[in-house]
Amino acid sequence: MTTEVRTVGPGELIRYADGIRDVYASAFAAPPWSEDPAQADVYAERLARDALRPGFTAAVATAEGTVTGFATAWITPEVFPADRSYGQVAEALGAGRTRAWLCGALEVNELAVAPEAHGAGLGAALLDAVAGPAPGGRCWLLTSTRAEAALRLYERTGWRRVAAPVPGKAALVVLLGPRHPGRAEAAGGR
């Protein structure tokens, strides 16, 4: 079975919406996320809004017409948001690092591979597809320290954890991409 990974724009994304929803449901059902399958419907609605964000990009992996994985990213606004987990990220990094490392950088928002497609290199290919065009190599993402397989993937592909833990019960951590200019400083924390 041949798998194809391709970058798609917001207008083309609708073609893959059902498959993305299915992959999201299966990928995030297991720990550490343990999401209810109904959350996939919520994500599908959010994805339609996210696709309108400046700098939005997505990559989709398909095998014989079936979506087996996806990744989404966009440019983090120059005025750092305060909703979702952003406020906690800003608290962990401080205003200066948040502005220097994250504002105007490409933010990888979601990356998911169907469990039956694990081990085929799709996660790395999807990550590279969306993060490759990051402005000045500046890309970042947020994940849980409990997502051990995801952390292994990110670190294996050159991403580096920021040594400042994100406050809150979700045990979140910021990672900077392989060409991010703040990587060397990231290991040192605050």
Task: Give dist(CA 1, CA 20) in Å, integer.
Answer: 19
What's the chain's length in residues? Answer: 190
The more confidently predicted of residues 188 and 92 is: 92
- What is the DSSP code string of 55-90? T-EEEEEEETTEEEEEEEEEEPPSS---TTTHHHHH
Percentage of residues in the chain having pLDDT higher than 90? 87
Contact indicator for 106, 131 with CB cutoff of 8 Å: yes
The CA distances from residue 59 to 48, 54, 55, 165, 170, in Å, are: 15, 16, 13, 29, 26
Distance CA 183, CA 138 (A): 10
CA 5 to chain centre: 16
Model-level pTM?
0.94
Structure confidence by residue, pLDDT tens digits, 155-187: 999 999 999 989 988 899 999 999 999 988 887
